[in-house]
Each structure stands twice: as C-alpha cells, then as structure tokens.
Amino acid sequence: MGRKRQRSHGKQGTHRLFKDPNAENIVGIAGEFAFANEFGFTIDEDDLWQRPWGDGGVDFELANGLTIDVKCARKPVFLLVKETDIEQVADVLVLGRFIDVDTIKWVGWTLGKVMRHAVMKDFGYGIRSYALPAEDLTSMDRLKLFLEKNGHYDSELDSGDIWL
C-alpha cells in the first residue's frame, strides 16, 4: 500500500527522509487504518490512491465538520506539523507510535489551534515544523469523550464546544 500511495503523489509528494521512499507512507497508512478501526471511522480505500497532492491534512471528518489528522511515527517524540501546513491544520491532531503495520500505540492528541502556538523546530533536514512534545499531548481516553461530545458515537452526552 505504501508504494501505491507514493506513486499516487508523483512529483508533488513531500521529500522523503528514508532510503525506501514508501516507508513514511506505510507508517502513515497503518496509523490511519488503526485509528479508523479503533474509533469507528471508515476509510474509502479507492480515495487513498486518487490524491496526488496528499489528503490536505484531513484524514477523517465528523458529521459536525470537525476534522482529524492522524500522524504516526516510529519515534514519536514530538507531534509535528510543517510550517507550510499550519494554515490548513485539522481541528484535531492525533499522534501514534508505529510498531508494525498491525500495531499502533496511541501517544496522545491535541487541537489544531493549540498546535499553532507550538515551538518551531528544524531537525536538520531544512523542514521547519511546529513541534509539540509528546508528553504535552492529551490522553487518548479523553479523545473518545471528545468524539462523543461532538456527535461521533451514540452516547448520553450533549454535543458541545471543543474542549480539552
């Protein structure tokens, strides 16, 4: 799947940092599928291959219009959003640790509006990113409550404003 997604980007894709240009796509897709499975979202697999410029920073959308972007990394020390992507950042950002294609350990989540105030970093590759330390993320237990509050699950909670 990683190779197929990388081919779909053509020359528009992000510069890859690993010898295998598909590695980052494999990690990303694994995170998206794990999130969908665990939190009750669906993925249109055909759509994954029809986006040469990527997903625009949105992996999932709630019925009320709130957007979610799942980030996944082998070493998730920071949740990162590229400086060039911050203006269209999703409402909710989720960080997972890639163990293997079948195993993602969730690190935490934050709101896009919080991410806009994170520290700017360049880790030596010439890519400036907003970086929020993993230990500063909200626990995943709170994410399910957030999703319930915003109408994703059937629950007795009233829908309401975004909260942390």
Looking up tokens 């053509």 gives 10
Pick the residue with more confidence: 96 or 2? 96
**Cβ–Cβ under 8 Å, residues 92 and 146:** yes
Band the pLDDT of 24: cuts 50, 70, 90: confident
Residue 155 lies in a domain: no
Question: What's the distance, Cα to Cα, between the start and end of the chain in Å?
Answer: 34
Looking up tokens 């163990």 gives 99
Residue 106 lies in a domain: yes
pLDDT (tens digit per residue) in 34-58: 999 999 998 877 766 555 555 678 9
Residue 158 lies in a domain: no
pLDDT of residue 51: 55
Please, where are the H alpha helices in the chain? 2-9, 23-39, 45-48, 112-115, 140-149
Residue 161 lies in a domain: no
Q: What is the residue range of 51's domain? A: 2-149
pLDDT (tens digit per residue) in 74-128: 999 999 999 999 999 999 999 999 999 999 999 999 999 999 999 999 998 899 9
Looking up tokens 């599928």 gives 33
Please give the mean pLDDT across all residues of the chain.
82
pLDDT of residue 86: 96
Residue 84 lies in a domain: yes
Residue 156 lies in a domain: no
Q: Which of 3-12, 58-67, 85-94 has the lowest mean pLDDT?
A: 3-12
Quickly count: other Cβ atoms within 10 Å of residue 143's Cβ.
Answer: 20
pLDDT of residue 49: 58
Nearest-angstrom CA–CA distance, 141 and 43: 22
Count of residues in the chain = 164
Give the SS3 label for residue 92.
Answer: strand
pLDDT (tens digit per residue) in 135-153: 999 999 999 999 998 888 7
What domain count does the chain have?
Answer: 1
Q: What is the largest CA-CA distance in the chain?
A: 49
Residue 116 lies in a domain: yes
Nearest-angstrom CA–CA distance, 39 and 88: 23
pLDDT of residue 56: 77
Residue 72 lies in a domain: yes
